[in-house]
Structure 1
Amino acid sequence: RPCTGGRARPAALAARMASHEGGGRRRQRKKTGTLEPAGVHVWSAWPLPQRYELRSLLGSGAYGTVCEALDKDKGRMVAVKRIPRIFDDLVAAKRVLREVAILSQLDDPHVPKVYDIVVPGDDPAHFSELFLVMEIGDTDLKALMQTDIEFTEAHVKWIFYGLLSGLRYLHTAGIYHRDLKPSNVLVNKDCAVKICDFGLARAVGDRSRPVTPAGSLTRRGSKGAVVGKDVGMPTSVSRAMTKHVATRFYRAPELILLQDDYTEAIDIWSVGCIYAEMTQLLEGARLEDRGPLFPGATCFPLSPDLVRPCDGLYHSQGRREQLNVIFDVLGTPSDDQVQQLDREDAQTYIRCFAPRKGMGLQRRLPQAGADAVDLLQRMLRFGPLDRCSAEDALGHPLLADIRDPSSEATAPEMVELDFDRKQNHSEQQLRDVFAAEIRSVLSGMSKVSTAGG
């Protein structure tokens, strides 16, 4: 179908996806220990209004379970996300609150819409579980990449263009997604893209300097030896931004190295990794060779080797250590780039790695064209200040034949979450904020939804 600006999308993906899971709809993700046994549909007893007819299980993870459902009142398929035992973990509860608050303030075709919020018993003051009714996608990039189909260059470019357009919108709204990966990119049969799962997202328009736990990286001793002892904690500040975000394969170097004041460049790195992976969908790449660009097995200090978790020098020599996997492709950073790191212990740790040029992205991704490699080189630079922005990426020659700037939305204002200005909330305080947020969202939808219909 034509896009907004009149430039034709490639032929719909329907034919290519027809053999994927019964026609393209996302199906249950297999995850040991999280999904009910075959034939036992626990989700069918969810306390939802009668308008929602649950059809199938789409997936399950740490923070909830997602089912496909028919909204009989609207005549459309939706995704219903059940989040149980919300207040068992107050940190997790605040993440759910952020997701609800952020999604309710975003309005872009590349972000799933929240259609409804269901509180069982219509009791916001005492609820323990929550149901989010959201826009659904046909499949996700991870599922597509695991399917034995090939895409044309036009298909890959359109999907990538949609992903970049959505990311640009998020960044103009002051949102860092912080967990971009193929499974969080929904793709429809017409190549439309939606960025999902905002459980780790943060609104950072008004953030102050984040706290980083010192001493997690190595430091240099009095005689130049690399050691792993604590170097003391920084002065307390008013707000924290956790560094343990983004899945390892898509985690930017500054997150790996626990840098303070990281920026939206962490999302650019993740999207670069995703696009590199997408090029493996092109003709000439074997199914068995598809996978992450940087498939590290450990990631010191956040995801270290269990045998020697505090030994930075040991990790710098590990061939499956995440930074080594990155350096094998991109090469080790220059002295000038290392000097950009704001932590002395991080600089010391980087200098532990054996210097190398790296094989280069073209050799690593032989099926990628010259323009694709050039843009990836701009997105996957070690220094966040050296990386291009989403706006820059959209203006790259790679996308010149399909880009339509008039279709790229800009957020009218930065998203700000007042409750995030307070670092520690009690359960009752979180309940109060949840109740206010739910009332605000439902009021904005001009409806009230209860478990009784």
Structure 2
Amino acid sequence: MELMDANLCQVIQMELDHERMSYLLYQMLCGIKHLHSAGIIHRDLKPSNIVVKSDCTLKILDFGLARTAGTSFMMTPYVVTRYYRAPEVILGMGYKENVDIWSVGCIMGEMVRHKILFPGRDCILHEWVQTASQARDLLSKMLIIDPAKRISVDEALQHPYINVWYDPAEVEAPPPQIYDKQLDEREHSIDEWKELIYKEVMNFEERTKNGVVKGQPSPSGAAMNSSESLPPSSSVNDISSMSTDQTLASDTDSSLETSAGPLGCCR
């Protein structure tokens, strides 16, 4: 994987306008959708596990806690960094793919506030985010306590705050190769693990050589590269040129209209 310029912890300290923020969130959701389509839950989404380039290309890292959905093996409460941990995880309940959506909501709130959204020891110390209406609406749907009512990744990608970036070639791209759900539960010796890794590398190289994976999302579940949809020279998506002034949109969210304004020239 190529060298990235920063992780999201550093980007969060900048004054992000809603164009940049919604585009970063769009890429996160694309990456999560590709993971979930292969039956994989990341389970440890946080700013330090997300890296960004100066053109706002985003990638998701650290799959050490990732597990396949629907197995009893993954139902442990000792996952997800505390500040980004969904209520059903804290309570030791069974959880599904949308545990990752709660984490994205916490990351989004942190991008708005420039500090951790839920840092308190109890609910009394928690603060609610004051931001533009569309962003606030999406955030409220991501942070619904009841996981059955929480917004799904597909619904989030269709939300007006995110949908301005929607590209079927990215969102509906073929999922990564379905992971062997029993692999994590098997006992292997070191030599057996080496052989499995070697076979996986050779298989990937063969598929790459034959062009099978060309134009498809990375098997790691990272979001699609934006170089085709967004010009590298675009100042709107160049983190290195981010303003230090407060640029959050008003409640009308006029900056998110696709018919005119900054987004219209970035597609």
Matched, 1:432 2:256: no
Pair member with larger Rg = 1
* Structure 2 counterparts to residues 15-414 of structure 1, below 5 A: 134-146=1-13, 149-204=14-69, 207-208=70-71, 210=72, 239=73, 241-260=75-94, 262-280=95-113, 290-296=114-120, 320=121, 324-325=122-123, 329=126, 364-366=128-130, 368-408=131-171, 409-411=173-175, 414=178
**8 Å CA contact retained: 2:16, 2:111:** no
For residues 274-307 of structure 1, the C-alpha deviation after alignment (integer angstroms, 9 at most, x for no partner) is 0111123xxxxxxxxx2110013xxxxxxxxxxx
Shift of 1:240: 5.2
RCO higher in 1 or 2 (8 Å CA, sep ≥ 6)?
2
- Structure with the largest fraction of helix: 2
Shift of 1:400: 3.1
Taking only aligned residues, the RMSD between alpha carbons, in angstroms, comes to 2.2
Shift of 1:138: 1.5
Distance in 2 (CA, whole Å) between partners of 1:442 and 1:413 is 14
Q: Secondary structure at the residue paired with 2:77?
A: coil
5+ long unaligned stretches in structure 2: 207-267
**8 Å CA contact retained: 1:140, 1:183:** yes
Normalising by structure 1, we get a TM-score of 0.43
Structure 2 CA distance for partners of 1:439 and 1:413, relative to 1, 3 Å: closer
Structure 2 CA distance for partners of 1:400 and 1:440, relative to 1, 3 Å: closer
Between the two proteins, the alignment pairs up a number of residues equal to: 206
Distance in 2 (CA, whole Å) between partners of 1:242 and 1:150 is 36
For residues 191-210 of structure 1, the C-alpha deviation after alignment (integer angstroms, 9 at most, x for no partner) is 11111111111123xx43x2
Q: Secondary structure at the residue paired with 1:385?
A: coil
Structure 2 CA distance for partners of 1:196 and 1:379, relative to 1, 3 Å: same
Distance in 1 (CA, whole Å) between partners of 2:176 and 2:23 is 25
Structure 2 CA distance for partners of 1:185 and 1:410, relative to 1, 3 Å: same
Shift of 1:443: 4.5
**8 Å CA contact retained: 2:35, 2:176:** no
Identity %: 40
Normalising by structure 2, we get a TM-score of 0.70
Flag as ranges the 4+ runs of structure 1 deviating above 4 A: none
Distance in 2 (CA, whole Å) between partners of 1:375 and 1:240 is 28
- Structure with the largest fraction of strand: 1
